[in-house]
Amino acid sequence: MSSRHVILGVTASIALHRGLDITSALRKMGDRVSVVMTPHATKLISPVTFQAMSLEVVYHDMWALAESMDHDHIRMAQTGDALLVAPATAGTIGKLAHGIADNILVTTALAFSGPCCFAPAMNWRMWKNPVVQKNCKILQDLGWHMIAPATGDLACGEQGPGRLADVCDIMDALKLATP
Ligand SMILES: Cc1cc2nc3c(=O)[nH]c(=O)nc-3n(C[C@H](O)[C@H](O)[C@H](O)COP(=O)(O)O)c2cc1C
């Protein structure tokens, strides 16, 4: 059993429901999981669902936290053992690559200095777009570990690369990043 404190960032991908499987897999391994959602992700799945799965407060609204003088997410960025962004949208990958800290996930990531992994998930045309590839490379050059997407059936009905990696592959990659 591991006992890491994993910060799990989840974004507004159609694969977001698999973030629940990741939360569950991490908890089964004995990890503490703090979920940080982008505001767009909360339009696809309620934070309450991630809260029920992680048994922890879910952070998603930077301004609500500011009003309540709650700086726990910054504390969390100082004490977490690993940051995993899965699924990672093209939009969040771009923001992380360029330090665009306009939501709580990117803000937390910028304040975090431990091992970082991201698992892209998107339509194959988006995945193949040079700007997405460039942003993934920027993150990798900055030390982020990329868990490459799989090739297969995509939610849009097409086939190709861009499918979120299997949960077991994500768990293995995280283990390697946080020995
Ligand atoms: C139903 C739905 C599914 C989406 N799935 C994806 C996806 O899998 N990957 C992606 O990069 N963008 C996807 N998008 C677009 C993102 O939600 C959009 O770019 C959003 O601004 C990303 O916000 P975030 O990265 O801050 O969560 C989807 C949008 C919708 C409405």
pLDDT band at residue 101 under the 50/70/90 scheme: very high
Q: Is 156 a catalytic residue?
A: yes
Torsional sign, CA 17, 20, 26, 31: positive
Q: Which pLDDT does position 78 carry in this prediction?
A: 86
The average pLDDT across 14-18 equals 97
- Angle of helix 167-177 versus helix 17-28 axis, rounded to 10: 50
Give ligand 1 pocket residues (Cβ under 6 A).
11-15, 38, 40-41, 89-92, 121-122, 126
CATH assignment, 5-177: 3.40.50.1950
**Ligand 1 centroid vs 156 CA: distance in angstroms?**
12
Q: Which pLDDT does position 70 carry in this prediction?
A: 65
Q: Which pLDDT does position 49 carry in this prediction?
A: 98
Q: What are the residue boundaries of the structural domains of the chain, listed by start? A: 5-177
Instruction: Give residue for tokens 């040079």.
Output: 130
Is residue 111's pLDDT more than 70? yes
Which of 8, 10, 11 best tests ligand 1's pocket when mutated (most atoms within 8 Å of CB)? 11
Q: Which pLDDT does position 150 carry in this prediction?
A: 96
Is residue 103's pLDDT more than 90? yes
